[in-house]
Amino acid sequence: MYTQASVSPSCPIALQGDPTQYFASFGSAMCLLPDLTGDNLIELAVGAPCENQNQGAIYIFPGQKGGFRTTYIQRIASSQVAKGLMFFGRSMSGNLDMTRDSLPDLSVGGAGKVLILRSRTVVGVSVSMTFNPAEILLSSYECPDADTTKAATTIRVCVTCTRKSPAGEVSAQMTYTLQLDAGRVQKRAVFPGKEHSLQQTFPLRQGRNCIQYPITLPECVEDSLSPLHVAFNFTLTGQSVLSEDSPTSLSEQVSFQKNCGSDGRCQDDLRINATFGDLRHLVVGVSLEVNVILSVQNHGEDSYNSQVIITFPPGLSYRTVSLIQAIFVVSFHVSSLANLGNRLTITTNVTSSSACQAFNFSSCLLAHTPSPPSLVPYAPSATNSHPG
């Protein structure tokens, strides 16, 4: 497009249609259009009547401050509006409302025909996602006490639809997809129906549209350190169209509650001790087995996904691992004024992370215990065999 300067013409904006159409007569007809995208800026329609062997096409360029963007947002070919129409886009007029719906229309001339192209209502969509409770409580996922039929949290997705066109009705169908633990192979949560994802369609209306679903944890959660990611994607169909600046996806996450104090940060204090039992010297050809006894203790707050890595020389081969002893310390104090009678039953669980098995220990205590006791239950030995 040329603008007249004080001395000589200049070309600050260069618009282009399909670069493969060399004889399209692009720009032989142009007209300004009222705001079509809801940004309060005018648009420009450019005709290319000789494009595609004289069938023709028109291009819509959006407005911007100081002119027009050089990339078109829509191309309308002759074959999209009328079969056999030739020289579509040889003339145009955009300052009219033939359909009396308060939305701008565009008249386009071709060989022996004039067509009226109607504009559609442009809507803007914003999406928010919340969880209730805001984090998955310990009681919802700690194995094996967790109730796998009760919702660990409820997700609520709200879609706010606003009309960006100066007039017109909002009429559209939204098809959305919700996915739990997107990108993970081992899913930890499900929607009703035991599905990890769901897809629904509902009529979108102007204003706030909300949906909600309960989320359950059907199995023991081994990885409670990584938050649960939820992905929301949608598409619109119908008379209204989505503005180009509206996002079509949203991803949020909900964390698992951790026993880490008021600051929410776990400060563990892991201590490890390793011995070889009674073995003092390893004699090749005589000592057939080497038993390594490891003791790991945590003197701080909870530690998640902790690992012990053992390296050994090539001459040795790994055989088995055995859980010799698991210690779970419980400290508590019962007031003599508590309305519990004079006895209180305590049950503790020791869990083997490799098999998700629980060993129960029960004790009956007197309420007037003079000092806070400590229970030290011992789990039976659990052995897991692996090929050497």
Which two structure tokens, joined as six digits, stand for 207?
């204003």
The separation between CA 153 and the C-alpha centre of its own chain, rounded to angstroms, equals 16
234 shares its domain with 134: yes
Q: What residues form DSSP beta bridges with 132?
A: 154
Instruction: Give me the CATH number covering residue 214.
Output: 2.60.40.1460
What's the domain count of the chain? 3
What pLDDT score was predicted for residue 378?
A: 38
234 shares its domain with 281: no
Q: Indicate the residue among 224, 254, 284 that finishes a domain.
A: 254
Entry pTM: 0.67
DSSP track, 175-194: EEEEEESTT-SS---BBTTT
What pLDDT score was predicted for residue 31?
A: 94
Question: If phi over 0 gives left and psi between -120 and 50 gives alpha, with beta otherwise, what is residue 194?
Answer: left
275 shares its domain with 377: yes
Angstrom distance (rounded) from CA 194 to CA 180: 11
Q: Residue 367: how many CB atoms within 10 A of its CB? A: 14
**In this structure, is residue 143 part of a structural domain?**
yes
SS3 76: strand
What pLDDT score was predicted for residue 196?
A: 93
Please report which helix (H) or strand (E) contains residue 18, including its range.
Answer: none
The pLDDT tens digits along the chain (388 residues) read: 555 555 566 666 789 899 999 899 999 999 999 988 888 889 999 999 999 999 999 999 999 888 899 899 999 999 999 999 999 999 999 888 888 888 889 999 999 999 999 999 999 999 999 999 999 988 787 765 555 677 899 999 999 999 988 888 889 999 999 999 988 888 999 999 889 999 999 999 999 999 999 999 887 787 888 899 999 999 999 999 999 889 999 999 999 888 777 777 788 888 888 888 788 787 777 777 778 888 888 888 878 778 888 887 777 777 777 766 665 555 555 666 665 555 555 544 444 444 444 444 444 444 443 444 333 333 343 334 333 3
What pLDDT score was predicted for residue 198?
A: 95
Angstrom distance (rounded) from CA 7 to CA 65: 24
220 shares its domain with 297: no
139 shares its domain with 249: yes
What pLDDT score was predicted for residue 214?
A: 95
What pLDDT score was predicted for residue 372?
A: 40
207 shares its domain with 321: no
Q: How much of the chain is helix, strand and coil, in % rounded to 5?
A: 5, 45, 55
Cβ contacts of 349 within 8 Å, gap of 6 or more: 144, 145, 328, 358, 359, 360, 361
The CA distances from residue 214 to 76, 88, 185, 222, 247, in Å, are 45, 54, 21, 21, 25
The backbone torsions φ and ψ at residue 319, rounded to the nearest 5 degrees and listed phi first, read: -120, -70
328 shares its domain with 344: yes
The backbone torsions φ and ψ at residue 127, rounded to the nearest 5 degrees and listed phi first, read: -125, 135
Which two structure tokens, joined as six digits, stand for 41?
């800026």
What pLDDT score was predicted for residue 285?
A: 72
Domain with 295, as residue range(s), is: 270-385
What pLDDT score was predicted for residue 355?
A: 41
